[in-house]
Amino acid sequence: MPSAFARGLVALAVALPLTLSCVAQACDPSTTEGLNARAAFRDDAFGVFVHWGAYSKLARGEWVMQTEKIPLDEYRKEAATFNPVEYDADAWAKLFKEAGASYVVITAKHHDGFCMWDTQQTEWDIVDHTPYGKDVLKPLAEACERHGLKLFFYYSQLDWSHPDYYPRGDTGRHSGRPESGDFDRYVDYMNAQLTELLGGDYGKVAGVWFDGWWDQQSKRLKGSGVKDPYVSQVNWRLDETYGLIHSLQPSALVGANHHLAPFDGEDFQMFERDLPGENHGGFSADATIGSLPLESCNTINGSWGYSAGDKSHKTVEQLVRFLVESSGRDANLLLNVGPRPDGTIDPVSAERLRGVGEWLAKNGAAIYSTRGSPVPPQSWGVSNRSDEWVYLHVIDRSAADADGWLELTGVELPEGSEPNETPLRLFPPQEGTAVPSKVDAAGAVWVNVADRAAGEETIDLILCYPIAE
């Protein structure tokens, strides 16, 4: 068996041409349906992410098989006790609608390879391997349809259980699988499953949210000596898989959480636990912002999959601010819940979702169907715009002076705005409520926030001015 390095060299020789060609042609225009779907995705602005699977039964997050080095046959025994008898797809869809979500992304298959639908490609699924014995994606697809929610499937390219996910990547090395396999056969397996998911059984699927490409990223693999983040030790045949999805459902959007600039054939770009352009979560060092629709994903507490001990739920204020900060960077927010093994959503997460929904019910016009504005993120907050209005989202007023005057740095009012006129209105603009504001001789715009220290305005004081005709 050639050494890892030798294999790396072979892969490099194989991958290099592939990798370069993908990036060079990124963002090629898709079909009209695809482009319309991309625009609608940007209008959607807010979605709910659902990490749910056999791992939920262990209640220690979706990486438990890897983090606790649980061999596959032992993990399968645990998974065989997964029985979500309280699962009510309609109740979920109702809650997500109340939260103000426009779409849902559910884990059809996560890294453990366990499938949440009745796949014919393996018996490692909820129908054949659990006492529950029913497909959970079908009822959710129907409930989303009923409640006017779009449905995306999260699909893990990385697989800790499939025998042909070989050569192994950076993870899944404790599963106890034989050191052999045929990666091409694994790619065929994925494409067969994606055909099941987008072949019509689940109706109109809004897209596929891929994850796990990074597991085979050569720079992660010990001894590869590869620095180029775009090099993979395997041939994922992405053009084929992406092409398959677009041919099965032309308006389905492809996104892949590889933490890099978009690859050819992708329709949107996501950032994990980060706002586009930032790297607090540690995933986005190589994530150059492309020209595709953007999405930030984040957790309500600290976990994606259900983790019984994780009580670090963010406040509604924090979640709304992350939504506003995302929108101010022209990105959607995909907010995660990790349902419990019985199929219910923990009351704290549900309450947080409803809290975001209450805020969106009042302020949604300053989020949905908006785009990034001419004013880049500032110390006081962010801005976005609709077709008629620029919205200024003041979420940090700490720079205000003793009389409450806060300079709105970066704001340049449209031509013809007279100095000292109160150029700004309170949201919603239709009510035309002026707010104490002024333009100084230097053209800087100021707002007085002294009397705006109550209620929701403390989360986000939304000001607006008309876009010049």
Residue 175 beta carbon to ligand FHN: minimum distance, rounded to whole angstroms? 16
**Cα–Cα–Cα angle for 23, 215, 292, rounded to 5 degrees:** 35
Residue 281 beta carbon to ligand FHN: minimum distance, rounded to whole angstroms? 9
Per DSSP, 346 falls in state P
Q: Residue 434's CB: how many other CB atoms inside 10 A?
A: 11
Comparison of 52 and 465: residue with beta carbon closer to ligand FHN:
52
Nearest to 293 by CA among 122, 460, 54, 43: 43
Nearest to 136 by CA among 409, 443, 343: 343
Token look-up 């705005």 returns 417
Residue 114 beta carbon to ligand FHN: minimum distance, rounded to whole angstroms? 13
Distance CA 355, CA 364 (A): 13
Comparison of 204 and 219: residue with beta carbon closer to ligand FHN:
219
In terms of C-beta density within 10 A (0-12 exposed, 13-18 middle, 19 or more buried), how is residue 315 classed? Answer: exposed
Residues within the interface to ligand FHN (CB under 6 A): 62-63, 211, 257, 272, 283, 297, 304
Report the amino acid identity of residue 422: T
The reply to whether omega before 167 is within 30° of 0 (cis) is yes
Beta strands in 319-359 (DSSP E): 331-337
Comparison of 67 and 180: residue with beta carbon closer to ligand FHN:
67
Comparison of 132 and 283: residue with beta carbon closer to ligand FHN:
283
The reply to whether omega before 429 is within 30° of 0 (cis) is no
Residue 211 beta carbon to ligand FHN: minimum distance, rounded to whole angstroms? 5
Residue 6 beta carbon to ligand FHN: minimum distance, rounded to whole angstroms? 29
Distance CA 421, CA 438 (A): 6
Comparison of 224 and 303: residue with beta carbon closer to ligand FHN:
303
Residue 357 beta carbon to ligand FHN: minimum distance, rounded to whole angstroms? 22
Comparison of 187 and 297: residue with beta carbon closer to ligand FHN:
297
Comparison of 206 and 392: residue with beta carbon closer to ligand FHN:
206
Number of H helices, E strands in the chain: 12, 16
Residue 410 beta carbon to ligand FHN: minimum distance, rounded to whole angstroms? 31
